[in-house]
Amino acid sequence: MERGNKMAVMPMKRLVADMSIPMMLSLLIQSLYNIVDSIFVARLGENALAAASLAYPVQMLMIAVGVGTAVGLNAVLSKALGAGKYDEASKIAASGVALAVLSSLAFVAAGLLFSGTIANAFTENKEIAEMCHQYLFICMTYSTGNLVCMTYQRLMQAAGKSFLSMVILAVGAITNIVLDPIMIFGLLGCPAFGIRGAAAATVLGQWVSMVTGLILQKYCNKDVNVSFKGFRFDTKIVKGIYKVGFPTMITQAMQSMMVTCFNVILQPFSTTAVAFFGVYYKLQTFLFMPMNGLGQAGIPIVGFNFGAGNKKRIYEAIRVIYPAAMIISLIGSILFMSIPAQLLGLFAAGDAMLKLGVPALRIIAPTFILGAVTLISGYIASGLQDGMTNMAGAVIRQFVPLIPCAYLLGKVFGIGGVWYGFWISEICGVLYSVFRVRKLLKIRLSHE
């Protein structure tokens, strides 16, 4: 079935499943990068786990730049394909790859020059700071594979090749999972690199994904031709990518800022609190990956039909994607509330972390349903060529009022009060996002 026909006529439930399930699986596998890293790093001690947790916001910032560029590329490319503008689509694709490479060079330079300074700014503990530096230096200096592989993955997704999109992410994640214990603990004749081994396994997996994406794009994605012969940046194309992509970039960067600020709030309580929050956030990220897969599948579906002027199909997609995300989030909430000790036990949690973490997970878990609605709303808006809704929703649910509320509640009620900040922020986020998407649909589709 040709891509245009697939997006235009395939039954919506089947189309959403066809587009999202491979993406869900690939994102779940990809999220194991950080889960598996943390599980093995925890075996090196709580300080090593805290160091990886402190480095995580910088990793998230790199992901933010890559995802922002890729989401903007996906939205603009899908609309061009939906309108039948294939020559323009090829120019858009080449621009996306070039932007990813240029973006990565900024992180390479920062890693070479400032990774030690960044690590020391995160903590006064010299041992933790040194391990954080070692981890950051490798992840930042070799970040090109990370950003470029995201771009190739989105080229496949925009062309409706969801399985190949999954393959690009999956091969890198599997590489990382296999190499982690070998390089951290020194198995099969490899030296024991400790926390540096965790970082090296991560970047090697990312480069394997990038090379896989390049090969699959060349031989398996004939719908979108990526050629740099006579290539020059087109200002209109770049603006179009970042019109959607930059707000998404800010959205993703908010997660980095939130984790950094939370670490600052938690450090006066204990190192255990910092280590726990790093574990929690990676578990939460893993849970939200299926919902991200649904939302990211929604971008090309909504974008294609927006470009084709098919209002009915857009509303059909919305009626399928929202309930599916809420069901997934409900299952996750029940899981986090039912077996919190077992989840933390995966990371060698001691008595202190269990005492702190079990009630914290049970307090936060019910908010996942609200977060799912806000998340999906942002992706639907991106498919309609509006990135601002996604950005504003993320700012509300992940920064303001979350950080000031968590700080004040912690001051008044102790560490147990910190976690109720998530309730306040998620309620505000869902109220905004539902209102905004309803208004956006009315405005953007009123001419149909």
**Cα four-point dihedral sign 359, 360, 362, 363:** positive
E strands, 144-287, where?
A: none
C-alpha 217/C-alpha 220 separation (Å) is 6
Q: Tell me, what's the pLDDT at 229?
A: 81
Q: Tell me, what's the pLDDT at 2?
A: 43
C-alpha 122/C-alpha 212 separation (Å) is 35
201 burial type by CB count under 10 A (0-12 exposed, 13-18 middle, 19+ buried):
buried
DSSP 8-state secondary structure symbol assigned to residue 108: H
pLDDT tens per residue, range 227-245: 888 788 989 999 999 988 8
H helices of 365-420, where?
368-383, 388-398, 402-413, 415-418
C-alpha 46/C-alpha 313 separation (Å) is 51
pLDDT tens per residue, range 271-319: 899 989 989 998 998 899 899 889 988 988 998 888 888 889 999 999 9
Distances (CA, A) of 294 to 27, 53, 354, 377, 381: 11, 27, 32, 11, 14
pTM of the full structure? 0.75
320 burial type by CB count under 10 A (0-12 exposed, 13-18 middle, 19+ buried):
buried
- Relative orientation angle of helices 46-82 and 126-141, to the nearest 10 degrees: 30
Distances (CA, A) of 347 to 131, 213, 264, 267: 18, 32, 22, 19
Six-digit token string for 165: 């999109």
C-alpha 240/C-alpha 70 separation (Å) is 12
Residue pointed to by tokens 């996002």: 433
C-alpha 384/C-alpha 406 separation (Å) is 34
Residue pointed to by tokens 């999906």: 376
Residues in the chain where the model's pLDDT stays below 50: 1-4
Q: Tell me, what's the pLDDT at 447?
A: 58
Six-digit token string for 213: 């994406």
446 burial type by CB count under 10 A (0-12 exposed, 13-18 middle, 19+ buried):
exposed
Give the type of residue at 365.
A
Radius of gyration of the chain (CA): 21
Question: Could you give the count of Cα atoms lying within 13 Å of 272 in the half-sphere of its Cβ?
Answer: 13
H helix or E strand, kind and range, residue 179: helix 162-185
C-alpha 155/C-alpha 302 separation (Å) is 16
C-alpha 388/C-alpha 72 separation (Å) is 12
132 burial type by CB count under 10 A (0-12 exposed, 13-18 middle, 19+ buried):
buried
Six-digit token string for 281: 């956030």
Q: Tell me, what's the pLDDT at 1?
A: 41
